[in-house]
A and B are shown apart, each in its own frame.
Chain A
Amino acid sequence: DQQVKQNSPSLSVQEGRISILNCDYTNSMFDYFLWYKKYPAEGPTFLISISSIKDKNEDGRFTVFLNKSAKHLSLHIVPSQPGDSAVYFCALYAGGTSYGKLTFGQGTILTVHP
């Protein structure tokens, strides 16, 4: 039973355009939503997060949107840069007594072409 799904295994975007990465979840217990970026031979690095009480959080070129009714999370990167090419994971956290348990999606490989 997969609680978190990233349905696009890969995404290819031209430099300067917008990249939109999507994530769907099934369980309403999650109350914090995060995006991690992973380069080859490195561990995932935290990118941006959003609390369930918000519907948008912005940090520079990165914006995360949360639609709780649709159980849908998205990450917008604009403008996209070649250095953004990496694997992006959404990760969900239930808070309370979850104690560090992040539930990850399968990841989306983003390629930004110069």
Chain B
Amino acid sequence: DAGVTQSPTHLIKTRGQQVTLRCSPKSGHDTVSWYQQALGQGPQFIFQYYEEEERQRGNFPDRFSGHQFPNYSSELNVNALLLGDSALYLCASSLGGADRDDEQYFGPGTRLTVT
């Protein structure tokens, strides 16, 4: 049973650049949520994609955008990178049609470093 996979594992970018991170959900899941985890902090919710649309967004600027494909995989795009965007980016998958989608399965994350 394939779990949540993310690519790449690590990434180094320069301030002002743009980055795309990728996520494939757990087999059977149709919903993807993205989180940012800064060093020493808990994960912070960025947004969730269900049926190829963003249906919930956290307190993140418009520089953070996403996309979900028909096969349920997802991308997170960050434009005009800032030093403060350096973090571990986690993808979580769940069943969007369930009564509750708090039972989320997380991938190992992508470590983004902005220099």
Contacts and interface: CB of A to CB of B under 8 A. Distances in A.
Contacts of A32: 100, 102
Contacts, number: 74
B44 A104 contact: yes
A4 B90 CA distance: 19
B102 A93 contact: yes
Interface residues of B, number: 29
A101 interface: yes
B56 to A, nearest CB: 4
Interface in B81-115: 90, 92, 94, 96, 100-109
A70 B102 CA distance: 23
A43 B108 CA distance: 4
A114 interface: no
Contact of B4 (A43, A95, A97, A106): A43
Interface in A84-111: 89, 91, 93, 95, 97-107
B40 interface: yes
A104 B43 contact: yes
Contact of A43 (B58, B101, B109): B109
B102 A41 contact: no
Given A100-B31, A100-B92, A34 B102 contact: yes
A44 B43 CA distance: 9
Given A89-B43, A106-B42, A101 B108 contact: no
